[in-house]
Amino acid sequence: MTEKDFTITKLGKCIRQSPIKYSRAHAQKDVRFIDDNLKILYNNSFSSVNDELNHPEKVLLEKAGPREHIYFDPEMVHAGIVTCGGLCPGLNDVIRSVVRSLWYLYGVRKISGITYGYKGFLPEYGYPAKELNPDVVDQIQETGGSILGTSRGGADIPRIVDALEKKKLNILFTIGGDGTQRGALAISEEAARRGLDISIIGIPKTIDNDISYVSKSFGFDTAVEKAVDAVRTAHTEAKSVHNGIGLVKIMGRESGFITAHTTLAISNVNFTLVPEVDFSLDGENGFLRKLEERLAEKNHAVILVAEGAGQKLMAESALKDESGNKKLEDIGLFLKEQITEYLLSRKVNFTMKYVDPGYMIRASVAASIDSIYCARLGAHAVHAAMSGRTAMLISQWNNAFVHIPISMAVSKRNLIDPDGSLWRDVLESTQQPDDMY
């Protein structure tokens, strides 16, 4: 188990007065400019407070926000923004916030968008950088996707740092998930090894909400909202016929948070299957038997399954994507086939509708609640970069925006605790057995 250490790396002393002009007339202390000594409790339960106060340098979190003194001279800053991995609602909102914060708050006039992920740094791909300013990003929050494009792979760290040197980039914002942030950490380490003053700031993008020490990732609320629409449709179809089954597959490679929250949001799901909780198909307590019992009692059923659930039930794939992630077998189609075969063998008449809204959700425009979150994430990322912090990402924790070392964020996956309150609430909502194994 990784020891908690939330110490933030800094490039040097902040000796320049921030160009941000805040009136002191009505300002409360630590609301406008943030004191470096202001910390947030990692765990706010009463039993943990004494332990945290005994080791404040390692277990208290640094509060995010603008500093009165900054490290970089804004006139000398060349900032870069890169988006990597799969699409997620809110990417353009974050890009917009970063550009506007750099431009209007700090007067930074040289901002480059690195196109098509980390591959945009590598000359053999020939992807040109995109000049960014407020006019370019003014309306991009109205569309889904990323105006910079995205890709997986391409994390050739030495050559990326070569490109940073050649382009004279001294700030890089990396918007991406676990693999992207691991790459960002490696970039910061290589830059430090070369003695380069480059700030690497991560903005966690993972629609599955699986990055540690991040309460909620941007795009998550939008994903739940869109998934609810899909489940509502499946439920209507299922109830409209005798023994109707609505089967909906939702994103979630290793973490079932979208699936769990969607279940609670709509409250008409009867079976929720997630990667963190194993289940079997066969036997008296297996999923198929319980589904048959549900149909006999209520004449319809709605099943919500995360894409990474039930992988042990299928032949494991040896294939990997460009990010090195194992390619998953399609649990949705597998369940559809297994349910069909089982119910036909039991001479149960039924009608099943299968819905997979994944790519529609990923490409959606961010909901308002996510747009607000993205705006604040982007601004806090800029404040952190201008104050010379590096190898860190912006997170929201205990209702505050904080700085988290990338090394801590990627040290483990954020997973549903099968013994925790979230899964308990899901079981209470679905009324499915605690154990289908």
* Residue 420 labelled as part of a binding site: no
177 is in an annotated binding site: yes
360 is in an annotated binding site: yes
**Residue indicated by tokens 């053999």:** 124
Residue 173: its H or E element: strand 171-176
307 among the known binding-site residues? yes
- Separation CA 173–CA 361 (nearest Å): 24
233 is in an annotated binding site: no
Residue 155's Cβ-count burial label (10 Å; 0-12, 13-18, 19+) is: buried
**Strand duo 351-355 + 244-250: pairing:** parallel
**86 annotated among ligand-binding-site residues:** yes
Does 252 appear as a known binding residue? yes
The token pair at 353 is: 């509708």
What does DSSP assign to residue 385?
A: H
142 and 367 Cβ atoms separated by less than 8 Å: no
**Among candidate residues 103, 117, 204, the one with its CA nearest the CA of residue 160:** 117
Identify residue 226 by its one-letter amino acid code. K
| 179 appears as a binding residue in the annotation | yes
Question: Is 249 strand, coil or helix?
Answer: strand
Rounded to a whole number of angstroms, the distance between the first and last alpha carbons of the chain is 28
Q: Is residue 180 part of an annotated ligand binding site? A: yes
Cα distance between residue 409 and residue 214, in whole Å: 8
Question: What's at 147, amino acid-wise?
Answer: I
CB 360 within 8 A of CB 171: no
| Active site residue ranges | 208
Q: To which H or E segment does residue 287 belong? A: helix 287-298
Query: Is 251 annotated as a binding-site member?
Result: yes
Per-residue exposure over 340-373, b if at least 16 CB sit within 10 Å of its own CB, e if not: eebbeeeeeebebbbbbbbeebbebbbbeebbeb
225 is an annotated ligand-binding site residue: no
The two structure tokens encoding residue 146: 């990323």
Q: Is the CB of residue 57 less than 8 Å from the CB of residue 7?
A: yes
Distance CA 76, CA 417 (A): 47
- CA 417 to CA 35: how far, in whole Å? 35
- Tell me the binding residues: 86, 152-153, 177-180, 206-208, 251-253, 307, 359-362
- Tell me the binding residues for ATP: 86, 152-153, 177-180
- Tell me the binding residues for substrate: 206-208, 251-253, 307, 359-362
- Tell me the binding residues for Mg(2+): 178
